[in-house]
Chains A and B, each alone.
Chain A
Amino acid sequence: MTDILVPTLNTNDSAAKLLEWKAKAGAHVKAGEIVAVLETSKATFDLESPAAGILHPLVAEGASCPFQATVARLFENAAQLEAFLKAAPSSSKSDPALTDPMLSKEAERFAQEHGISREKILSLGKSSLRKSDLESLVDGATSGSNAFHTAHQEAVARTVTLSHQTIPTSFALMKMRAGKALAHVAALSKDKKMLIGLPDLIIHLLAQQQVKHPKCFGHMVRGRFQPMGADIGVIMDVGQGPTIPVIRNASSLSLEGTAKEMMALRVKAMRGGFKAADLEGASIGLSLNTEEAVWVVEPLIQPPQVAMLTMGAVHQELALVDGRAVSSSYVMVGLTYDHRILNGSDAVGLLTDLRLALENLA
Chain B
Amino acid sequence: MRNDIKLVMAKVFRMKIEEIPDSAAAGTLAPWTSLKHVELILHIEKKFGVRFDDELVGTLLTLEVIENALKTALNGTK
- The residues of A with any CB-CB pair to B shorter than 8 Å are 186, 189-190, 193-200, 238-239, 259-260, 262-264, 266-271, 288, 290, 292
Complex CA gap A186/B42 in Å reads 24
Can you name the residue of chain A whose Cβ is closest to the Cβ of B57? A267
Complex CA gap A192/B15 in Å reads 27
Q: Which residues of B lie under 8 Å from residue A259 when comparing CB positions?
A: 34
Contact between chains at B54 and A197 (CB < 8 Å): no
- The residues of B with any CB-CB pair to A shorter than 8 Å are 14, 26-27, 31, 33-35, 37-39, 41-42, 54, 57-59, 61
Q: Which residues of A lie under 8 Å from residue B31 when comparing CB positions?
A: 292
Contact between chains at B42 and A263 (CB < 8 Å): no
Complex CA gap A167/B35 in Å reads 29
Complex CA gap A257/B67 in Å reads 27
Can you name the residue of chain A whose Cβ is closest to the Cβ of B43? A239
Complex CA gap A263/B33 in Å reads 12
B74 to chain A, nearest CB (A): 20
Q: Which residues of A lie under 8 Å from residue B54 when comparing CB positions?
A: 264, 267-268, 271
A214 to chain B, nearest CB (A): 28
Can you name the residue of chain A whose Cβ is closest to the Cβ of B52? A267
Complex CA gap A27/B12 in Å reads 64
Can you name the residue of chain A whose Cβ is closest to the Cβ of B56? A267
Complex CA gap A332/B37 in Å reads 22
Can you name the residue of chain A whose Cβ is closest to the Cβ of B28? A186
Q: Which residues of B lie under 8 Å from residue A238 when comparing CB positions?
A: 38-39, 42
- The prevalent SS among residues of A at the interface is helix
Contact between chains at A194 and B41 (CB < 8 Å): no
Complex CA gap A264/B14 in Å reads 25
Partner of A189, one of B27, B38, B42, B57: B27
Can you name the residue of chain B whose Cβ is closest to the Cβ of A190? B27
Nearest 7 Cβ contacts at the A-B interface: A197-B34, A266-B38, A263-B58, A195-B34, A267-B54, A195-B26, A267-B57
Q: Which residues of A lie under 8 Å from residue B39 when comparing CB positions?
A: 238-239
Q: Which residues of B lie under 8 Å from residue A268 when comparing CB positions?
A: 54
Highest count of chain A CB atoms <10 Å: which of B33, B38, B59: B38
* Known contacts A195-B26, A195-B27, A239-B42; is-contact A263 B35 (Cβ 8 Å): no
Contact between chains at A186 and B58 (CB < 8 Å): no
Complex CA gap A269/B34 in Å reads 14
Q: Which residues of B lie under 8 Å from residue A264 when comparing CB positions?
A: 54, 58
- The 19 sampled A-B contact pairs (Cβ below 8 Å) are A189-B26, A190-B27, A194-B58, A195-B34, A196-B34, A197-B34, A197-B35, A198-B33, A199-B35, A200-B34, A238-B39, A259-B34, A263-B37, A263-B38, A266-B34, A267-B38, A269-B38, A288-B35, A290-B33
Partner of B35, one of A190, A260, A290: A290
Complex CA gap A270/B39 in Å reads 8
Q: Which residues of B lie under 8 Å from residue A190 when comparing CB positions?
A: 27
* Known contacts A186-B27, A194-B58, A195-B61; is-contact A270 B41 (Cβ 8 Å): yes
A292 to chain B, nearest CB (A): 7
Highest count of chain B CB atoms <10 Å: which of A263, A267, A271, A288: A267
Partner of B34, one of A193, A239, A263: A263
Can you name the residue of chain B whose Cβ is closest to the Cβ of A269? B38
Complex CA gap A174/B29 in Å reads 27
Can you name the residue of chain B whose Cβ is closest to the Cβ of A240? B42
A264 to chain B, nearest CB (A): 8
Highest count of chain A CB atoms <10 Å: which of B14, B34, B59: B34
